[in-house]
Structure 1
Amino acid sequence: MTLPVFGTAAIERAATPRLVLDAVRGALIAHAERRTSVPPPLHLRFPDADGDCHVKAGRITGAADFTVKIVTGFYRNPGAGLPSNHGVVCVVSARTGRIRAILDDQGLLTAWRTAAAGALITHAMARPDATTLGVFGTGEQARLHIDWLAGLRPIGAVLVHGRSRARTRAFCDELTARGRPARPASAEEAAGADMVITATPATAPVLQAAHVRDGAQVTGIGADMPHKNELPPALFARAGMIATDDHDQCLDHGDFGHAVRAGAAAATGDVPAGLLLSGPVERPAGAVTVADLTGVGALDAALASAVLDELTR
């Protein structure tokens, strides 16, 4: 028996935005309700190449499949004309243990589920009248988060802060050409938006807590390994609500964990992000709200299974 292998072209045809959003929303809710099985992720670092690798597994309770995923991020790759991220997802039957298929997605499903999760949580936690968006980062995740969030709510000005002026300008020009007006901004300007998303591999905070306005929603998605850090502990000290996609992971290697170890937040001061997707969020009036997302294997499992079902329908 030949093992089915599906590439990015087939995956892109099967995975509509609605399918991705529905799978990710359902998996976040299931995880918040403890209806998942998610072992701790495996991390590898490659400092000489400015790279890292994650191996994540997960299953929704009662689902026919589970997945094991390998995904890499090598951040010098764009300089050589290569994408930063790569990966593959193995879909396995939870009833027989046999591998159903390999999704040779080159990291695409991870990118989509990360952006969908960030957009869903940002939309749920932000004020209904929030429109301006500050984005830290100029890579694939920054672009995807803008696109996914714009599919959920109207977005006005997009303020982009990146390490490279030239790359930031090119990124903003591309967004503007696609109908999403954006302009380069200082870190202070970007942090002062109604909604702020940090999508970087930073190892030190990319913004100052004092620059975040009262009533803003800040979502950090880059701190997915212990050495990474995007959001300062002082921001969590200001927060009227803190959401995490996985409590234990965020304590171990998320920005929430950095804040707890710094004494800026209580270890029990977070709420499961998935619970905020089950109904309207009672947002503390005028408060800063923060979401720390480290990536959950159950989301990979839900999305990969949904895509495979479409591919084999």
Structure 2
Amino acid sequence: MKIISLEEIKNCFDFNKIILEIEKSFIEYSNNNIESLPISHYQFNDKKADIHIKSGMIKSDNYFFIKIASGFYDNASKYSISNSQGAIVVINANTGIPEFILNDQGYLTDIRTAIAGVICAKYLAPKNINSVGIFGYGIQSFLQAKFLKIQIPQLKNLYLYGRNKFKFDKIKQKFDNLGYQVHISDSANFVAQNCNLLVTTTPACEPILFGDFILPGTHITAIGADDGIKQELDISVFKKASHVFADSIEQCLKYGDSSHAEKANVTLRNKITEIGKLIKTTNHYERNESDITISDLTGLAAQDIFISKYILETLIK
């Protein structure tokens, strides 16, 4: 069994190629070409931490993938290591032999999640946009800011929301180096009122965004809620939304922010579409100026499969 190091994995990074791989993962998932097991979640009761296990394979492929990803949200402040950790095991689907371990330490999960946010902005962000509001100060917040600037170069202002100003002061230089004018606030309403592209990246278990915060014409990408307990968007946001786009309708109605709206009897079924179907159609969503749209991202095994296959194919030619 070959162990592929984090350094080897990072050396494979190519922004445009990974966007294509993650777009393919959404399409193949929506085309029902992915075999995946139910997601396993474990929430630690005595600490701010959780572990998720996603697994599956492309139908008729030669490899089965098991991704273990954890979020230990005090790692950075207590131990000066990433809050994200994990690894991906690659099993030969013909023999059952584990052939590779991608010792990515959570890196690939962070990257594919951030790229998914970029893809949502690519297809759904308003045409006239110069400011993005990002909720959270962690690694996902930073990657969203970094990659969105590459995808949408005209972005000038970055509004950051967070409750822990001390945490931001420690990492401020990283955000300042991205080419934005950076504004910091502990008011979610202030951030939302200054941006028509919003990205939530927190592990919040209570809503931080409410319907009356949101400007007409805004797109929101919700990333943090992925286990049925977390919640970043109040149900009032869904009531105002013109349309919702889900990485997986099934998962989002179980685990994502959409699940809380569904439990509150907010009707979503007639206005929710999978992102894979959005990407593959020739007639992409045409937003009206006043439309409020939501992308609900819970994370797909398909994303882990495609980014892992990309790494293997790049390294083993």
Range class of TM-score, shorter chain: over 0.9
Give the deviation of 1:76 after TM superposition.
Answer: 1.4
Q: Which runs of 5+ in 2 are unaligned?
A: none
- Partner residue, 1:209: 211
Deviations 1:55-95 (A, max 9, x none): 10122234332210111111111221222110000112333
Amino acid of the residue matched to residue 152 of structure 1? Q
How far the C-alpha of 1:235 sits from its partner, in A, is 0.5
Matched residues in 2 for 1:283 and 1:60: separation?
33
Decide which moves more: 73-82 or 200-209: 73-82
Q: Conserved in 2, the CA contact under 8 Å of 1:135 and 1:142?
A: yes
Q: Deviations over 1:114-150 (max 9, x none)?
A: 0011111122111122221000000000011111222
**Cα distance change of structure 1 residues 76 and 97 upon mapping to structure 2, 3 Å threshold:** same
The residue number in structure 1 matching 2:291 is 287
Q: Which residue of 1 aligns with 2:43?
A: 45
Deviation at 1:243, TM superposition (A): 0.5
- Determine the C-alpha separation between the residues in 2 that align with 1:235 and 1:219: 12
Match of residue 118 from structure 1: 117
Q: Which residue of 2 aligns with 1:248?
A: 250
- Segment drifting more, 175-184 vs 214-223: 175-184
Change beyond 3 A, Cα 1:158–1:23: same
Structure 1 counterpart of 2:258, one-letter code? F
Superposition deviation, residue 169 in structure 1: 4.0
Offset from partner CA, 1:164-209 (integer Å, 9 cap, x none)? 1222344444211342331203311212211000000000111221
Residue 146 of structure 1: aligned partner = 145
Q: 1:28, 1:59 → 2: CA distance? A: 14
Pairing 1:126-275 to 2, within 5 Å after superposition? 126-154=125-153, 155-185=155-185, 186-192=187-193, 193-275=195-277
Q: CA deviation at 1:268?
A: 4.8
CA contact 1:132–1:157 (8 Å) conserved in 2? yes
Aligned match of 1:68 in 66, 69, 72? 66
* Bigger Cα displacement from structure 2, 275-284 vs 80-89: 275-284
Question: Is 102-111 or 43-52 further displaced after alignment?
Answer: 43-52
Q: Is the 8 A contact 2:209 2:237 kept in 1?
A: no
Preserved CA contact (<8 Å) 1:169 1:183:
no
Which letter maps to 1:222? G
Q: Give 3-state SS (helix, strand or coil) of 2:224's partner.
A: coil
Q: Secondary structure, in 3 states, of the residue corresponding to 1:14? A: coil
Name the residue aligned to 2:93.
Answer: 94
Distance in 1 between residues matched to 2:285 and 2:64, nearest whole Å? 31
User: Using the alignment, how far apart are the partners of 1:300 and 1:6 within structure 2?
Assistant: 15
* TM score, norm. by length of structure 1: 0.95
Alpha-carbon distance in structure 2 between the residues aligned to 1:62 and 1:268: 33
Cα distance in 1 between the residues matched to 2:149 and 2:109: 19
- Per the alignment, residue 32 of structure 2 pairs with 34
Distance 1:96 1:268, change over 3 A: farther
Question: For the residues of structure 1 that align with 2:249 and 2:29, how far apart are their CA atoms?
Answer: 10
- Partner Cα separation in structure 2 for residue 29 and residue 213 of structure 1: 30
Q: Secondary structure at the match of 1:118?
A: helix
Asked if the contact 2:132/2:159 (under 8 Å) is kept, the reply is yes
Uncovered stretches (5+) of structure 1, i.e. residues with no partner: none
Q: For the structure 1 residues 58 and 283, does the alpha-carbon distance in structure 2 shift closer, same or farther, using more than 3 Å as the test? A: farther
Q: Give me the TM-score of the superposition, normalised by structure 2.
A: 0.93
Query: Which structure carries more relative contact order (alpha carbon 8 Å, separation 6+)?
Result: 1
SS at match of 2:89: strand
Q: How many residues of Structure 1 are paired with residues of Structure 2 in the alignment? A: 311
Name which of structure 1's ranges 268-277 and 135-144 shifts more when overlaid on structure 2: 268-277
Are 1:260 and 1:267, in contact at CA under 8 Å, matched by a contact in 2? no
In structure 1, give the amino acid aligned to 2:266: A
Provide closer, same or farther for how the CA distance between residues 243 and 76 of structure 1 changes in structure 2, counting only shifts above 3 A.
Answer: same
What is the RMSD computed on CA atoms of the aligned residues? 1.5
Number of the residue aligned with 1:308: 312
- Counterpart CA distance in 2 for 1:67 and 1:284 is 40
Identical amino acids, percent of aligned pairs = 29
Give, as a single letter, the amino acid of the residue that structure 2 aligns with 1:180. Y
